[in-house]
Structure 1
Amino acid sequence: MAARRMVVIGGDATGMSAASQARRLKKPDELEIVAFERGRFSSYSACGIPYWVGGDVTERDALIARSPEEHRSRDIDLRMRTEAVELDVPGQRVRVREETGGEHWVGYDELVLATGAVPVRPPLPGIDAEGVHGVQTLEDGQRLIDALEQRVESGGAPRAEGGEARRAVVVGAGYIGVEMAEAFVKRGYSVTVLEKGEQPMSTLDPDMGALVHEAMCGLGIETVLGAAVTEIRTDAQGRARAVVTEDAEYPADVVVLGLGVRPATELAREAGLPLGESGGLRTDLAMRVRGHENIWAGGDCVEVLNLVSGRPQHVALGTHANKHGQIIGANIGGGYATFPGVVGTAVSKVCDLEIARTGLLEAQAAAVGLRFESVLIKSTTRAGYYPGTAPIHVKMIAELRSGRLLGVQIVGREHAGKRVDIAAVALHAGMTVEQMTCLDLGYAPPFSPVWDPVLVAARKAAAAVR
């Protein structure tokens, strides 16, 4: 009996996790695994790219978890620089294009879509000019670093004529935007962040975003709000030289786009597979594409269920992508696994400012018809008398009457951000803020005040919803 064939489109987190897990469960004579990756790298940490650009990570290969050769040594036929260009769902086959330009069809018994996400790139004049960079893939990061180092070698950075610092303009103040701002600060650039919204970090409520804005300005990062970009202005050689908004022009030696991402689901859309409102593929709990028994999808190209709101949403995070791959591989390999959903946890930083959130924002809670109270407290990361203590702000949102925890946002200095995990566990458990006040958290002066800031917020929220 011939081996069944598992075809994977996408050679990063979800795709290769699925392939690896399936291989652990099935031998090559039972399951042939073929994976296609259009890029030059496999199984890498895209989340680490800003820290590589900023110099915290010194080697590109430190971000690569497993090379193509390592995958092949485990009987996974990973074909690099090969792009899937068409799906024939009734015929159970994929048309692929090789680096040479040649195309052919490959049949499958099980298909895994792990196509990821693509950066939002608005159709503005100059958006594709030399010197304008995205940072979604390892290749993007390599191109940016090569460009920066080329300027250093030519005497062009980090100082311009007259001794002025070279200028980096980051468009967008979301996670990638603030992380790239930090990377350029570390490289000695003068940094301007342009954000069209009311505050940086639209993943926070505006009052918490205002704390981020204040801190970024204090770090020497010019952060301009309400700045809708209209054009990337270029020089005679076609290289980006300034970013233009409706109100001003900002000179730039390098421009980075941090406008978020959207699911890369063009193949799926053309094949008639079901997509949600965000454009992400719709799957069941086993990560099987709805209505298709032998097509699976995971990672940044799918929608997931938000366990707090009960609504589907698009969440592009490597943590979920790897879990999805493990679940898909287990199910294809004959086991059984499910992915129940997320609570929307994320953490980031810009220089020494840590930013975290989990659960719902006020606007999200209101959108699903929840009535709630919000509280905001200021505390310290350690006992107030202990050296190195730093400020921390915690915002907590709880449902009226029931007291159910709905969301937490944290902005603070060192040791602030990871406290969000306390709230993430509480959300998964469906806890009330009253129940949270009795959590047995670790205490010692170097780590926390007697009342941890999260518990202080819980006490205040409990009083507010009674």
Structure 2
Amino acid sequence: MATTQRMVVIGANAAGMSAASQARRLKPVGELEIVVLERGGYTSYSACGIPYWVGGDVAGVDDLIARTPEQHRERDIDLRLYTEVTALDPDGRRVRVRGRGDGGPPGEWLGYDQLVIATGARPLRPELPGIDAPGVHGVQTMEDGRALLEALERIEAARSAGTPRRAVVIGAGYIGVEMAEALIRRGHEVTVVDRAEQPMTTLDPDMGRLVREAMCRMGIETVTGATVTAIRTGEDGRARAVATEDTEYEADIVVLGLGVRPETELAREAGLPLGGSEGLLTDLAMRVRGREDIWAGGDCVEVLDLVSGRTRHVALGTHANKHGQVIGTNIGGGYATFPGVVGTAVSKVCDLEIARTGLSEEQARALGLRFTTVTIESTSRAGYYPGAAPMHVKMLAERRTGRLLGAQIVGREGAGKRVDVAAVALSAGMTVEQMTALDLGYAPPFSPLWDPVLVAARKAAAEVRRAGAH
């Protein structure tokens, strides 16, 4: 009779629960015991939806939860909430576990046959005076979102109609601009402070400038090229202002939108391999390099960038779910791989849509690539059709081969998801010349006769030919 194996999963969100659920589909209880350890109180939730919950687009926390703890347990998964892993022992095939918040001993050891590390990422929290004061909020977990929402409701209830409510967002990346929108929608005066010269540093500066101009037109005070030096507090100890080298910005609440880093401290202490971004390194099957019995997925890993050929950290729920599916399939006796990413991301602030995929100019230069760039301005629909809105598309192509290297799009409704065309082209290794012949859908309500992405590809192809002639 076969011995029942134990699969231990650290982390109960996208990657962890996808791995557990997929493994359970493939192996019954008698063959595989599945134990999931989660230090928080939620499972299978959309962290990406937190800004929309705060902004009122999503009615409540339940709408962000794909599957509850009870639903997972009904599938014969031993899910343990508020349970923290304090140490890994790869050689002994065990993890040390204790109840979250427990003092004293570090916990009891739990053995495993297969370990899945899905510890996610932690928000960047710079060491600044006042950074831990009440009124300073991150937005990484559901607990973070609930705490922020409750704080906003207290502020709004305490302020009479017409009295300014001021919020400062530190950081102008994806999280920062999405939180700025959420706060504007709640009626707060919003200031976004970032040390870069333009917001959205995943874009090139010329495209970031378009985002900044649009944010300013929306009433969001956007302060760039400014380094935050401290969070000022009032007599009650709560955050009251954000200080930079030159001035201060009053704040009833401060939101951190500085990005994240892989949560891999336990892995580091256990001697597991980490990459340049401190993410765990895995093979294509999502098995930690050098280990036959340890797997990792989600925001705690680095993955292969198909354009640059190097590993990178990309914290997105879409990838995390795929990682989990791959891990669960392999542990369950099947076969699956995760080939890599091209770096596609899309966001919005109010009615402005922002998208990118592939390499930026800075990334291409760092790789030693020679490239050409083009930027075109078009519209989301046929110019004569009602609602046509402006759209800027930037494209990078390798000079010698014409291979597409990256694309960035900034525009109104209908702009953001157009980046998917470029993402597919990147995954297929297409040239910009090949892209010009793509058979994309056309009708006046959806696109001009020549889609903006194809207009950019045509211009890029012409630049590649011109560069080759010199």
**Which bin holds the TM-score, normalised by the shorter protein?**
over 0.9
**Structure 1 counterpart of 2:287:** 288
Q: Does 2:145 align with 1:138?
A: no
CA contact (8 A) 2:379 2:390 kept: yes
| Pairing partner for 2:159 from 156, 161, 184 | 156
SS class of match (1:192): strand
Distance in 2 (CA, whole Å) between partners of 1:409 and 1:100 is 44
| Aligned AA (2:299) | D
Q: How many residues align?
A: 461
User: Residues 55-134 of structure 1 correspond to what in structure 2 (within 5 A)?
Assistant: 55-99=56-100, 101=102, 103-134=107-138
Distance in 1 (CA, whole Å) between partners of 2:19 and 2:422 is 29
CA contact (8 A) 2:178 2:348 kept: yes
Distance in 2 (CA, whole Å) between partners of 1:168 and 1:113 is 36
Distance in 1 (CA, whole Å) between partners of 2:376 and 2:400 is 21
Q: CA deviation at 1:165?
A: 2.1
User: Residues 251-330 of structure 1 correspond to what in structure 2 (within 5 A)?
Assistant: 251-330=250-329
Q: CA deviation at 1:151?
A: 2.5
Distance in 1 (CA, whole Å) between partners of 2:385 and 2:298 is 42
User: Residues 164-313 of structure 1 correspond to what in structure 2 (within 5 A)?
Assistant: 164-313=163-312
SS class of match (2:153): helix
SS class of match (1:327): helix
| Pairing partner for 2:151 from 147, 152, 167 | 147
Distance in 1 (CA, whole Å) between partners of 2:155 and 2:74 is 39
Distance in 1 (CA, whole Å) between partners of 2:150 and 2:399 is 53
Distance in 2 (CA, whole Å) between partners of 1:272 and 1:403 is 42
Distance in 2 (CA, whole Å) between partners of 1:397 and 1:83 is 45
SS class of match (2:373): strand
**Structure 1 counterpart of 2:468:** none
Q: CA deviation at 1:401?
A: 2.0
Q: CA deviation at 1:70?
A: 0.5
Q: CA deviation at 1:148?
A: 1.2
| Aligned AA (2:26) | L
| Aligned AA (1:250) | Y
Q: CA deviation at 1:98?
A: 1.0
**Structure 1 counterpart of 2:23:** 22
Distance in 2 (CA, whole Å) between partners of 1:104 and 1:59 is 36
Distance in 2 (CA, whole Å) between partners of 1:278 and 1:336 is 28
**Structure 2 counterpart of 1:458:** 457
Q: CA deviation at 1:97?
A: 1.1
User: Residues 346-425 of structure 1 correspond to what in structure 2 (within 5 A)?
Assistant: 346-425=345-424
Distance in 2 (CA, whole Å) between partners of 1:165 and 1:394 is 37
**Structure 1 counterpart of 2:11:** 10
CA contact (8 A) 2:191 2:222 kept: yes
User: Any unmatched runs of 5+ in structure 1?
Assistant: none
Distance in 2 (CA, whole Å) between partners of 1:211 and 1:250 is 24
1:385 to 1:51, Cα distance in 2 relative to 1, 3 A:
same
| Aligned AA (1:61) | D
CA contact (8 A) 2:171 2:256 kept: yes
Q: CA deviation at 1:187?
A: 0.1
Q: CA deviation at 1:156?
A: 2.6
Distance in 2 (CA, whole Å) between partners of 1:402 and 1:43 is 43
Distance in 1 (CA, whole Å) between partners of 2:445 and 2:8 is 51
Can you list the C-alpha shifts for 1:142-165, whole angstroms capped at 9, x where unaligned?
000111112233x236x5xxx342
Distance in 1 (CA, whole Å) between partners of 2:195 and 2:217 is 20
Can you list the C-alpha shifts for 1:173-224, whole angstroms capped at 9, x where unaligned?
0000000000001000000000100100000000000000000001000000
Distance in 1 (CA, whole Å) between partners of 2:369 and 2:338 is 25
CA contact (8 A) 2:390 2:411 kept: yes
| Cα RMSD after superposing both structures | 0.9
Distance in 2 (CA, whole Å) between partners of 1:427 and 1:90 is 41
Q: CA deviation at 1:99?
A: 3.7
| Aligned AA (1:284) | D
**Structure 2 counterpart of 1:444:** 443
**Structure 1 counterpart of 2:43:** 42
Can you list the C-alpha shifts for 1:17-64, whole angstroms capped at 9, x where unaligned?
000000000000000000000001000000000000000001111000
SS class of match (2:76): coil
Identity of aligned residues (%): 75
CA contact (8 A) 2:34 2:77 kept: yes
SS class of match (1:447): coil
| Aligned AA (2:134) | E
SS class of match (1:86): strand
| Aligned AA (1:414) | E
Q: CA deviation at 1:408?
A: 0.2
Distance in 1 (CA, whole Å) between partners of 2:101 and 2:406 is 50
SS class of match (1:300): coil
Distance in 1 (CA, whole Å) between partners of 2:171 and 2:100 is 33
Q: CA deviation at 1:100?
A: 6.6
CA contact (8 A) 2:156 2:165 kept: no
Can you list the C-alpha shifts for 1:346-403, whole angstroms capped at 9, x where unaligned?
0000000000000000111111111000000000000000000100000000000210
| Aligned AA (1:146) | E
CA contact (8 A) 2:155 2:252 kept: no
Distance in 2 (CA, whole Å) between partners of 1:456 and 1:403 is 15
| Aligned AA (2:181) | E
User: Any unmatched runs of 5+ in structure 2?
Assistant: 466-470
| Aligned AA (1:352) | D
Distance in 1 (CA, whole Å) between partners of 2:402 and 2:225 is 35
State which drifts further: 144-153 or 129-138: 144-153
Distance in 2 (CA, whole Å) between partners of 1:227 and 1:180 is 19
Distance in 1 (CA, whole Å) between partners of 2:101 and 2:370 is 58
Q: CA deviation at 1:307?
A: 0.3
Distance in 2 (CA, whole Å) between partners of 1:48 and 1:286 is 28
Distance in 1 (CA, whole Å) between partners of 2:315 and 2:264 is 13
| Aligned AA (1:337) | A
